[in-house]
Each structure stands twice: as structure tokens, then as C-alpha cells.
A and B are shown apart, each in its own frame.
Chain A
Amino acid sequence: MTGHVSIRLASERVNHSVSSSNELPRFYTPGEVITGMQDFMRGHGTYAEDDSLKASVAGVMQKVNKLICIRPLKSRYVGEIGDVVVGRVLEVQQRRWKVETNSRLDSVLQLSAVNLPGGELRRRSAEDEQMMRKHLQEGDLISAEVQSVFSDGSLSLHTRSLKYGKLPQGTLMKVFPSLVKRRKNHFHNLPCGVSIIIGNNGFIWLSPQKQDVLYEGNKDEIEEYDLQPVNRSDRETMARVKNCIAALVASKMMLDDTSIMFAYEESLKYPSVKDMLDPEAMLDIAFLAQHRINNAIEE
């Protein structure tokens, strides 16, 4: 009974880049002049100097009417109101939680921005303040929505909806936020039986699909259910989805439910999930998924 060990050489390293049909856009690099005209508004990634607008990051230009932004290949998460994020509670403070969301300042979840048991429009009492750690404690993962952005750029979150809140059993993956496609919906129940939250901040949450019946039960019952072992087939599917996402990320491909499902379907030719950790297999999956995406675009 020996485990699987593989040591490859640097000369056998796999290049993960997958060619695509997209034409290369025009790139801007820090200090480069974008335009000399003054009638543009400067957005993220730009600054004005000597009567011209210059880029401050390396990336491509995005223009909305007169607003010019430069979007870098990767950066910390820059939140916008309405974004869905997955975050980790760092600290329990007075009437609020500090949450790590991969942005440049810690985000805040106010006590008044969560649903407490017993009605939505309830006043937050002193007792609630003392029970905060019971509700969410350090290390807990939550899904939430960006409610507002403070002037210093830090985010205020809320979980005032049934779909948000503390996350049950599952695994977290971290990718660059720029790989996540902005979509209407970031909660998906994939057909393979895994539910996935693709946070705009690059945190991706994988968990087995929940049976709805349990919402009827009281709180203790739900908590008990949350700690039940996940069955083997769900676990296998989750591992497969996780490795598929890793393969897409290694080739810097955009993530949404379609690209993940394409990669999942292509990965089925590898019967054993752990074989998908192999760099060649990762490239193969990403390549095939890209092919499917290109076909889908053409149709």
C-alpha cells in the first residue's frame, strides 16, 4: 500500500497558456499617456499630469462615456454596491464584525445588517450585542452583499436575505478577483450536484447541495445537520469541481457557471479525481473547455 508520488523536472514544466481566438487588446503600462485631452474623466488606474491622462497600472482601457479606467490583470478586490462576496470573519467588535474580503481594507458587517432570529424588523437589543459571537465567530465564512462603500474605500456588507449568511460545510478556493465574471447570479446549483458561490472578490465556495426540507426544522436541528458527514459521491464531485477550477485558474481563464461546467464535463474522461492534479491533465482540461467556449461563442 504505497501512495502516489510524482517528481517531475523543471525541463518538463508545462506552459499553461491556452491560445484563444480573441485578438489582443491594446495594453497600457504605468506612466503611459492615454490621451492628451482634458474632457475625459479619470477613473481607476489613471491619473492626470501635465495636461494629459496617464495610466497608473498595466492593463486594458475601459471607457464608459467620458470615464476612462484602466483594468489591471490582477489586483485586490475593488468592491461595488450589489456585489456578492464570500468573506471570513476576522474579529468580533462592538456592534459589528470585521470581515476579510480580499480588498485593501477589512470590510465591516454591522449588527444591524444581519437577520437575527425572530422577525426582520426587530430592534437590536443589548442582549443581541452580547450574543454576537454565538451568531458569527472568528474564522466563520459568510456570503454577503456589498451594501455601501465608505469614503476610504472599505466595504460595508449586509446579509439581510435568506440566501446570504453563514456558510455550511464545504471548501473555499481563492482566485484573483479579475477572473470572476460579473453576472446577475453568483449562486449556482450545478447540474452535477454541487452548489457554488462565485464571489466577486475571488473567493469561491463549494458545498454539497442542500435538501430544502430542513428549513422547516428549528435552529438546533439545522446546526446538527450542518455537521453531518458529507457522503462520498458528493465529496468526489466537489473535489472534481475544485480541481477543474484550479485548472481554469492555472490557464487564467474566466470563471462562471458555464466555463466551470464545460471543464467539469471534459474532466470526466479522467476517472480518478486525483489524476487531475497533474499539470498535463490540468492543461488538457483547460484547453478542451476553451474549445467548447469558442464553439459556444460562434454559435
Chain B
Amino acid sequence: MPGPDLLSSQGLRLDGRRPNELRRIKCKLGVFTQPDGSAYLEQGNTKVLAAVYGPHQAAKSKSSTDGVVVNCQYSTATFSTGERKNRPRGDRKSQEMSMHLRQALTAAIKTELYPRSQIDIYVEVLQADGGAYCAGVNAATLALIDAGIPLRAYACACSASMAWRAGQPEPLLDVGHVEEAAGGVVLTVAALPNTGSIALLEMSHRLHMDYFDVVLSRAMQGCRDIEIILDRAVRDHLAEGWTKQDIVTI
């Protein structure tokens, strides 16, 4: 099954990356003042904002005594794609994405701590260039940390694809828009790299089961790499915020 030509003869991808290379990630916590937590994340040309409100008193209809209600909304700005979108949200694609976000983040949040409360997580894609869902999960994790909400571990998401090079399968990390559009498999994984568990896995197009493991392990490697980047951003943010506070050990 020779897939589309995603690798050059030198082993470089369409955008010049090596197969196991992530796009450049830049992020910042606390970009807004009104929400309890917020974050901005750029992954290559994909740009995402996330805001977190809560935990706050849940609406009576939603309220649960078992744990916190996690409410997610994924929307895409109308100018974010090459072709203008007519609706920022409410279409089937965004609703599916909202559910997937919720799935991945609920696995990370320590929901049992906050009965009768609710956490609202809003992700806004400002620029979509492939992997917008992954960037959304990563940004939402940062926003949750900014809001001081207890997490089991970082939730990180990353995608992987497959290409062939000299007859050998070569998985590609962090799929960009061009590679997505060229067809071929896209495996999206949201994981808690610290514990090694997978919160969400989704695959489109076909992939031979023999190669599933290599592609999955590459995606997991990506999640671990992203965790390191997010962790560094969190520590930088703490260092900047903490310069003023005297730490009193009671």
C-alpha cells in the first residue's frame, strides 16, 4: 500500500521537517483577565486560544453529586481557514470536537474533588493549519493549570501519519495541513504521558494493523515531547508570577 509521496528522497517532509520532528510550539498562560484560566498556543501555523471558567456552582439540571461537570465548546473562527467558514460552531464537526475535548480533558481532571460544580472549557481556533484539535487539547491543559484546577497529569495530544521511504514504513509526527490534505492515515492520540495512558484515540483513513504499533508509538512519543514543552512553559509562568510573593511556610 504505497501511500502518497509525503517524504522526499532525502527523508524530509513537505514542510522540510524530519519525520519525528514536531512543529514549533510557542505558548503563554494567562492571556486574559476575566476567565479563571486562559492560554494561547501556537503549533506551527495553527493558533488556538483556550479559556477556563470555574469550578463554579453547576446549573441545577446538570449538577452531579459524583463529581464536577466538565463542559467543553470547540469553535473555529470564520477567518481561520483558507476558505471562509460560514459558522464558527454548531456544525457536526465542531460538536464532535467538543465531545472529544471533553473526553480527553475529563481523563486528566480530578473530577471527584468537586461535586456539584462545573468547569467550562472553551477553545477557539484562530488559525487552522492541521492538528487544530491537538493544539486545542494542549492549550486547554495549560488553561486548566492557569486556573489552578487539580489534574492527574498533563493531557497532551498529538497526531501521526504514515509514509514510505525506500520500501520501509516511516511514521510522521504532528501532521500538518498539507499532509492531511494529501490523504493517508491520520492517527490522533490524546494521552496522559506521565502515566502512559491513552485518553482518546481516533484514526481516519486506513492503516494496516501491522503498522499500527509504530504509528501509535510515534504519536505517544510526540505527546511526551509536548509534555516537556508545556511543562517548561508552566514553570516559566510560575517563575514570572512568583517573584513578588513571599513564600511563607506556616
Tell me, yes or no, whether A and B come into direct contact in the complex with CB atoms closer than 8 A. Answer: yes
Cβ of B110 < 8 Å from any Cβ of A?
yes
Within 8 Å CB of B54, what residues of A? 76, 104
A45–B147 Cα distance when bound, in Å, is: 13
Of the 9-residue stretches B41-49, B126-134, B203-211, B235-243, which lies at the interface with chain A?
B235-243
- Distance of A202 from chain B, by nearest CB (Å): 11
Binary contact readout B185-210 vs A (1 if CB under 8 angstroms, 0 otherwise): 00000001011000000000000000
Interface residue? B181 (CB, 8 A): no
Would you call A19 an interface residue if the criterion is a C-beta within 8 Å of the partner chain's C-beta atoms? yes
Contact indicator A27/B239 (Cβ below 8 Å): yes
The answer to whether B244 touches A18 (Cβ under 8 A) is yes
Interface residue? A254 (CB, 8 A): yes
Q: Is B117 an interface residue (CB 8 A)?
A: yes
Considering the complex, give the chain A residue whose CB is closest to the CB of B246: A22
B237 contact set on A, CB distance < 8 A: 58, 73
Residue among B147, B195, B241 with max Cβ neighbours from chain A (10 Å): B241
Chain A proximity mask over B31-58: 1 for CB below 8 Å, otherwise 0 = 0000011000000000000000011110
Complex Cα spacing A139 to B224, Å: 48
Kindly provide the distance from the CB of A97 to the nearest chain B CB, expressed in whole angstroms: 14
Pairwise interchain contact B55-A76, C-beta atoms closer than 8 A = yes
| Residue pair B241, A31 in contact (C-beta under 8 Å) | no
A245 within 8 A of B: no
A105 touches B117 (CB 8 A): yes
**A16, closest chain B residue (CB):** B240
The stretch among B5-13, B149-157, B161-169, B212-220 that forms the contact with chain A is: B149-157
Contact of A62 among B57, B149, B239, B249 (CB under 8 A): B249
Proximity bits, A52-82, B CB within 8 Å = 1, else 0: 0000111110111000000011111000000
In the docked arrangement, what's the CA distance between A115 and B71, Å?
A: 40
For the complex, give the distance between the alpha carbons of A57 and B153 in Å.
9
Do B243 and A19 have beta carbons less than 8 Å apart? yes
Complex interface: chain B residues within 8 A of A73 (CB):
146, 148, 237-238, 241-242
Contact status A252-B150, CB under 8 Å? no
A31/B153 contact (C-beta < 8 A), A62-B250, A73-B242, A104-B114 known: yes
- B244:A29 contact, CB within 8 angstroms: no
How distant is the Cα of A30 from the Cα of B142 in the complex, in angstroms?
Answer: 11
Whether A253 pairs with B244 at a CB distance below 8 angstroms is yes
Q: Are B150 and A56 in contact (CB under 8 A)?
A: yes
Query: Which of A29, A60, A105 is the one whose CB lies under 8 Å from B234?
Result: A29
B247 interface hit (Cβ, 8 Å): yes
Cβ contacts under 8 Å, A72 to chain B: 148
Q: For residue B239, which residue of chain A has the nearest CB?
A: A24
Q: Does A209 contact B (CB under 8 A)?
A: no
Interface centre among A19, A24, A63 (most CB of B within 10 A): A24
A143 proximal to B (CB < 8 A) = no
Residues of B in contact, count (CB < 8 Å): 40
| Contact B153 A30, beta carbon cutoff 8 Å | yes
Cβ of B140 within 8 Å of any chain A Cβ, yes or no, is no
Residues from chain B with Cβ under 8 Å of A60 in the complex: 238, 242, 247
Q: Return the chain B residue nearest A59 by Cβ.
A: B238
Q: Is the CB of A75 within 8 A of B147?
A: yes
A153, CB-defined interface residue at 8 Å = yes
Q: Is the CB of B150 within 8 A of A27?
A: no
Q: Is the CB of A254 within 8 A of B242?
A: no
B117: chain A residues within 8 A (beta carbon)? 104-105
Which residues of the other chain, A, contact B234 by a CB distance below 8 angstroms?
A: 29, 58
Q: Contact at A58–B145, with CB atoms within 8 Å?
A: yes
Please determine whether A57 and B247 come into contact, CB atoms closer than 8 angstroms: no
Given known contacts A30-B153, A56-B110, A74-B146, is B242 in contact with A64 (CB within 8 Å)? no
Contacts of B56 in A (CB 8 A): 76, 104-105
Q: Which residues of A contact B243 (CB under 8 A)?
A: 17-20, 22, 24, 252
A57 touches B149 (CB 8 A): yes
Contact A45 B150 (CB under 8 A): yes
A63 & B249 in contact (Cβ 8 Å cutoff): yes
In the complex, the chain A residue whose C-beta lies closest to that of B55 is: A104
Can you list 17 A-B pairs, Cβ within 8 angstroms, ordered by A?
Answer: A18-B244, A22-B247, A30-B152, A31-B153, A31-B195, A49-B152, A57-B148, A62-B249, A73-B146, A75-B147, A76-B54, A76-B56, A76-B147, A76-B148, A105-B117, A179-B245, A252-B240
Chain A interface residues toward B at CB < 8 A: 17-20, 22, 24-25, 27, 29-31, 45, 47, 49, 56-60, 62-64, 72-76, 104-106, 152-153, 178-179, 251-254, 290
Q: Which 8 A/B pairs are nearest by Cβ-Cβ distance?
A: A75-B148, A31-B153, A72-B148, A56-B150, A31-B194, A104-B55, A30-B151, A253-B244
Given contacts A19-B243, A30-B152, 11 further A-B pairs with CB under 8 A are: A17-B240, A22-B246, A24-B243, A31-B152, A31-B195, A47-B150, A63-B249, A74-B241, A105-B117, A106-B57, A252-B244
